[in-house]
Structure 1
Amino acid sequence: MHVALPIVLLVATTILGSLVARRVGLSGPLLLTAVGVALSYAPGVGEVHLDSEVVLLGFLPPLLYATALRISLVDLRRDVYQIIQLSVLLVLFTAIVVGLVSWWLMPIGFAAALALGGVVAPPDAVAATAVARRIGLPRRLVAVLEGESLFNDATALVTVSTATLALQQSVTPLSVGVDFLVATVGGIAIGVVAFLAMAFIQKHVKDTPTSVALSFISPWVAFLPAEEIHSSGVIAVVVMAVLLGYKAPYIQTAQARVSERMNWDSVQFILENMVFLLIGLQAATIITDVIESDIGLARTSAYALTVLATVMFIRPVFIIFAAWLGRVARWDSRPLSLREGAVAGWAGMRGVVTLAAAFLLPEGATPHRETLIFIALTVTIGTLVLQGFTLGTVAKAMKLHAPDPREDALAAAQVVQASIDAGEVAMHKALEDPRLADTPEPIMKSLEKQGMRRANLMWERLGSSDVLGPTQQYREIRQQMLAAERNKVLEMRDHGLVDHEVIDNILFQLDIEESMILTAEDRDAVLGETRPLLTPEGRRGDCEHLVEAADSSAAPQSHEGCQTCLEQGMKWLHLRMCTACGFVGCCDSSPGAHASAHFRDTAHPVMRSFEPGEAWRWCFVDGLPG
């Protein structure tokens, strides 16, 4: 009971704090840290000491795994230079500069000062991305920050380990270099081996609960062997998770992937928020230790504020200089812009790894250990508050914003359309199989309509109209049907007419369908008109029809709506305009689908959206966006 109650209270406080933060629009890590600090002084709470082993072995592997599982391997390869700069060079530079400042300022040796530099060097993955997603930053910048935060812990922990070793025995530059090499190469090798082992097992496991359970032990399958051979467990976990996430569609069933994602969402939510509550809960104990120390609270606070200022100054200077140098020297084909560098430089919030690394400093061998731990706490809370609360202001000043949700909707529509076209080709090819050659025509028509409905569902998310589209009509009617179906099933359950297992399976199917409808509605609710919607340059097709249409200056034949619908007294959902002649017709989700009919009648290949705030194009012939 004495163990269960604190755990329940921790989880309950974490959930409540996160809920309040979401309701009032604050960052969850910031609010939970403040709650933890307040609770640390509450009567009856007592002394809270978070063992570094609990964080580094219990919290860090699953948090890294959950984040890396969704990181794009393509994005990592694309931004590898920026990620190496931030996760390796910047961490080492920060550790050395902070070490020199601390060595000059405090009554400690250089080894202890360098250990402190390594402790405060790595920004936290959770804090940075939580704030970045809340305020809205460009997706590439968020990807770079996430990539940095996955690997910088490894650099920092190796630095702390080396400096700690120097406190107890002599080290040489050669031994330091060997340690970094072993940590990096060994971590990568263990990560690849762990990936191959888990991928082989997952590929042969078709049972969903077993597959998800295997994913729960995966972080430690990589972390523990790497740490055992004195390599980086952090790198091993990240490498394994990134590769597993990339290969998941090939090695796991669809049911396993969906269940794994849902379960890891819950695990990640609890762990990443709880760690900040635990950071705050240690405040009273750490401050008490400093008050009772030889240096005292006043001098220690001065040291801490100096280190905090140093940390906050180093990062933006380094990143902006690296971005400028990358452009001038042209050694990086895709450097961050100076505006992106300024925002990335201010996104340096520290987190639980900083505090856990401070507790790794050996007692007895580390001079003024309580002072160094207090400095780590000050840097963590200081960066969370100062940078966390002002990052949005800096992003606005730099005129950086989150991706337009309509651009995502347009990209999704284009991808789904391409996948459906590929599916139709596969459908007709399947008829070459003698077993399927006599498939009834109604089944083929049903498959074609299903694909068409999925495509139209995505295109309907674009544009604006007072008329309910087919998808919205389907959702509203289907939700009423699902409610009636569920009530009937529950009535039969209550009367004991059918076995519970049968009832449970039917309810599960209804829940899945309803959750898909509600998820789609939540996703569509964020769409709004902000600026002209164009197909992003990287996804624009270059077929001859789109190239010719780029020079077209055809004027619209109608500003009132779909010309054919107006003639026939029909309603339309969204409007399209032929770039060749200016004919204005309705989209495929409209009853008439007159834009496509115009293409079939005239062979004019390209149309553009005629909705307010949209200027994207589509080639009917080649199925390419423009």
Structure 2
Amino acid sequence: MDIFENVLLMLVAACLLLQLSRRLALPYPSMLALAGVALGAMPWVPHISLDPHLALALFIAPALLDSAFDTAPRELRRNWLPLVSLVLVAVLLTTAAVAWAGWAFAGLPLAAAITLGAIVAPPDAVAAAAVMQQFRIPRRTLSVINGESLLNDAVALLVFGVAVSAAGSAHLPITSSLPMLLVAVPGGALVGIAFAKLNLHVGAPLFAGTRSAIIFQFVMTFGAWIVAERLHLSPIISVVAFGMTLGQYAPGRNAPRDRVHSYAVWGAVVFTLNVLAFFLMGLQARGIVDRLSEPALAHALQFAGIVLALVIAVRVGWVLFYGAVMRAAKHRLGFKPRRIAIPSKRIGLLVGWSGMRGLVTMATAFALPPDFPGRDLIVLSAFAVVLGTLVIQGFTIGPLIRALRIAPDASLEEEISLARTAMMDAALSALEAENGTEAEAVRDEYRAARVLASDTAEPQAKTAHDRLRATAIRAQRQALDGLRASGRIEDDTYHRLEEEMDWAELNAIPAADVRLQSV
């Protein structure tokens, strides 16, 4: 019961902190990281341990699905060169640099040092995107950062799996596990695609319009992970393939009601897992600090500082180097890349500074077996990297964007205007042959919406019809509340009509106001 009560306190504290982060325009993962430290310092909070395999599946699978669902293959193809630079080169360089430091300064075995490098290598786009969206930076930059967050998780977790296996089998070199990747990666992708097809062709039609649809989505997500793991394939690639396949085909097959409910549930789940991960990391760090003697703790903290400095420096250095090489190839060698964006110095510095670590780093640290070589040092270093990057970079990325004076990108509003105008034209064409006062009233509403849609500055503003409908709905709600208060209707009738009014109100407000905010 103590654990359950403390989890509830964690969630309440997180909600309060997130409201503070909104008011201060700070990334909420940074606030959660500080809260994790504060919680870890409280002696009355009990230590909580998780099974390593459970930790990896519980925290990683939903986060991967959430990122994969929103990642379009078209965007990955369009940004393939910067993504390869960040996903492969930057991740592997960071892994190598941290592994060298772990071997040279901390005396970790090579496999354990590589494991540490793989744990701290992948950045998390959540914190960076939360800040960057406020400043309307170029959408292509955001697309690269989001795509990187998904793919570098897969690359780093593959390296993590190989290194952990090698550390568990001291007599086998790391290279002996590499041939398995030739089967594990494509095999995992096939498992993920198969589960996505099963969800689309069986789950979606069978459970449409019921709560079972969302439960089935959870079963399929964790099922894709577990089956791939049992077949000794890559569960990471399996969930990525599962999410990207659903992202491409599910919107055309799911009913709007199912989609609204699913997005709300999955968003809440991923957010809750982020909260729990930060607090659990704080508790793990407290246990490690308690176990270490004073000289050992001082050495561990010094090494964690080295790892943090390497993680930040390698990414910033590589991104700036990549940008300089691409600009030199374009201007001095006459290289003219087709549809490949060449980052400016300002954008390069921003992308390099946006490498905050988050959920994946914490979850992989949780997943280390209790007897793993140098586990305490690795977990403490991972927590220092997460905390350090989220506080140092997270609190300064907003001022950095302002200092760099990056021009706001209005292309999103322009595309919304283009698409909404085309949608209104299609609706008016469909109603052209209809006669009667009802048809004319509907046409008037779409004509008013079309006028607003053509405004590229505010294409989703309220129409006059929206304002009138909102006034009418408020009156309906007051009448419904009065009937309930007077006892003329029972609560079951009230809640049925309340839901009807909720959907009517959602239909009467601009689409931009319908979506839940991240925090």
Q: What is the TM-score of this pair, normalised by structure 1?
A: 0.73
Residues 491-541 of structure 1 show CA distances to partners (whole Å, capped at 9, x for unaligned) of 3334454565554332212222334555558599xxxxxxxxxxxxxxxxx
Distance 1:477 1:58, change over 3 A: same
Please say if residues 307 and 379 of structure 1, whose CA atoms lie closer than 8 Å, have aligned partners that are also in contact. Answer: yes
Cα separation, 1, equivalents of 2:379 and 2:174: 27
Distance 1:29 1:445, change over 3 A: same
- Residue identity opposite 1:414 in structure 2: L
1:451 aligns with 2:446: yes
SS at match of 2:132: helix
| Corresponding residue number in structure 2 for 1:572 | none
| Corresponding residue number in structure 2 for 1:220 | 222
Name which of 419, 424, 433 aligns with 2:423. Answer: 419
1:337 CA displacement: 0.4
| Corresponding residue number in structure 1 for 2:61 | 61
| Corresponding residue number in structure 1 for 2:332 | none
SS at match of 1:26: coil
Aligned ranges 1:582-621 → 2 under 5 Å = none
1:135 CA displacement: 5.4
Distance 1:417 1:333, change over 3 A: closer
| Corresponding residue number in structure 2 for 1:346 | 353
Please say if residues 102 and 113 of structure 2, whose CA atoms lie closer than 8 Å, have aligned partners that are also in contact. Answer: yes
| Corresponding residue number in structure 2 for 1:510 | 501
Aligned ranges 1:285-434 → 2 under 5 Å = 285-291=287-293, 296-327=296-327, 328=329, 333-338=339-344, 339-364=346-371, 366=373, 368-400=374-406, 402-404=408-410, 407-427=411-431
Cα separation, 2, equivalents of 1:523 and 1:162: 44
Please say if residues 323 and 335 of structure 1, whose CA atoms lie closer than 8 Å, have aligned partners that are also in contact. Answer: no
1:50 CA displacement: 5.3
Distance 1:278 1:213, change over 3 A: same
1:108 CA displacement: 2.6
Please say if residues 187 and 236 of structure 1, whose CA atoms lie closer than 8 Å, have aligned partners that are also in contact. Answer: yes
- Residue identity opposite 1:224 in structure 2: I
- Residue identity opposite 2:216 in structure 1: L
SS at match of 1:282: helix
- Residue identity opposite 2:443 in structure 1: E
Cα separation, 2, equivalents of 1:143 and 1:463: 22
Please say if residues 90 and 318 of structure 1, whose CA atoms lie closer than 8 Å, have aligned partners that are also in contact. Answer: yes
Please say if residues 78 and 339 of structure 2, whose CA atoms lie closer than 8 Å, have aligned partners that are also in contact. Answer: no
Percent of paired sites with the same residue: 29
Runs of 5+ in structure 1 lacking a partner? 432-438, 525-626
SS at match of 2:409: coil
Cα separation, 2, equivalents of 1:309 and 1:384: 13
Cα separation, 2, equivalents of 1:191 and 1:323: 35
SS at match of 1:204: helix
Please say if residues 136 and 402 of structure 1, whose CA atoms lie closer than 8 Å, have aligned partners that are also in contact. Answer: yes
Please say if residues 223 and 233 of structure 1, whose CA atoms lie closer than 8 Å, have aligned partners that are also in contact. Answer: yes
Q: Supply the RMSD in Å over aligned alpha carbons.
A: 3.1
| Corresponding residue number in structure 2 for 1:200 | 201
SS at match of 1:137: coil
SS at match of 1:130: helix
SS at match of 2:2: coil
- Residue identity opposite 2:191 in structure 1: I
Cα separation, 1, equivalents of 2:213 and 2:324: 47
- Residue identity opposite 1:478 in structure 2: R
Cα separation, 2, equivalents of 1:357 and 1:77: 28
Cα separation, 2, equivalents of 1:471 and 1:153: 40
Cα separation, 2, equivalents of 1:135 and 1:402: 7
Name which of 227, 237, 240 aligns with 1:238. Answer: 240
Distance 1:377 1:225, change over 3 A: same
1:97 aligns with 2:104: no
Distance 1:274 1:20, change over 3 A: farther
Distance 1:148 1:401, change over 3 A: same
Residues 407-463 of structure 1 show CA distances to partners (whole Å, capped at 9, x for unaligned) of 5444322211112223344445xx6xxxxxxx6444543443342133134346848
Please say if residues 14 and 274 of structure 1, whose CA atoms lie closer than 8 Å, have aligned partners that are also in contact. Answer: no
1:324 CA displacement: 3.7
Distance 1:354 1:203, change over 3 A: closer
Mean CA deviation greater in 29-38 or 408-417? 408-417
1:252 aligns with 2:254: yes
Cα separation, 2, equivalents of 1:511 and 1:303: 55
Mean CA deviation greater in 263-272 or 232-241? 263-272
Please say if residues 129 and 142 of structure 1, whose CA atoms lie closer than 8 Å, have aligned partners that are also in contact. Answer: yes
| Corresponding residue number in structure 2 for 1:615 | none
Please say if residues 119 and 361 of structure 2, whose CA atoms lie closer than 8 Å, have aligned partners that are also in contact. Answer: yes
1:121 CA displacement: 1.1
Distance 1:344 1:409, change over 3 A: closer
1:196 CA displacement: 0.9
Please say if residues 421 and 454 of structure 2, whose CA atoms lie closer than 8 Å, have aligned partners that are also in contact. Answer: no
SS at match of 1:169: coil
| Corresponding residue number in structure 1 for 2:44 | 44
Please say if residues 187 and 233 of structure 2, whose CA atoms lie closer than 8 Å, have aligned partners that are also in contact. Answer: yes
Please say if residues 452 and 458 of structure 2, whose CA atoms lie closer than 8 Å, have aligned partners that are also in contact. Answer: no
Residues 171-192 of structure 1 show CA distances to partners (whole Å, capped at 9, x for unaligned) of 4575343233333212221221
Runs of 5+ in structure 2 lacking a partner? 330-334
Cα separation, 2, equivalents of 1:355 and 1:268: 14
Cα separation, 2, equivalents of 1:30 and 1:13: 14
Cα separation, 2, equivalents of 1:489 and 1:271: 38
Distance 1:361 1:267, change over 3 A: closer
- The higher relative CO (CA closer than 8 Å, separation ≥ 6) is in 2
Please say if residues 48 and 281 of structure 1, whose CA atoms lie closer than 8 Å, have aligned partners that are also in contact. Answer: yes
| Structure showing greater Rg | 1
SS at match of 1:349: coil
| Corresponding residue number in structure 2 for 1:282 | 284
Cα separation, 2, equivalents of 1:146 and 1:521: 21
Please say if residues 356 and 393 of structure 2, whose CA atoms lie closer than 8 Å, have aligned partners that are also in contact. Answer: yes
Distance 1:330 1:313, change over 3 A: farther
SS at match of 1:99: helix
| Corresponding residue number in structure 2 for 1:177 | 178
Please say if residues 462 and 509 of structure 2, whose CA atoms lie closer than 8 Å, have aligned partners that are also in contact. Answer: no
- Residue identity opposite 1:175 in structure 2: S
Could you say which structure has the higher helix fraction? 2
- Residue identity opposite 2:313 in structure 1: F
Mean CA deviation greater in 125-134 or 85-94? 125-134
| Corresponding residue number in structure 2 for 1:261 | 263
Please say if residues 151 and 235 of structure 1, whose CA atoms lie closer than 8 Å, have aligned partners that are also in contact. Answer: no
- Residue identity opposite 1:452 in structure 2: R
1:198 CA displacement: 0.8
Residues 60-118 of structure 1 show CA distances to partners (whole Å, capped at 9, x for unaligned) of 21122223223333322322332233223322221112212322222233222222211
| Corresponding residue number in structure 1 for 2:4 | 4
Mean CA deviation greater in 215-224 or 187-196? 215-224
- Residue identity opposite 1:245 in structure 2: G
Q: What is the TM-score of this pair, normalised by structure 2?
A: 0.87
Please say if residues 120 and 361 of structure 2, whose CA atoms lie closer than 8 Å, have aligned partners that are also in contact. Answer: yes
- Residue identity opposite 2:111 in structure 1: A
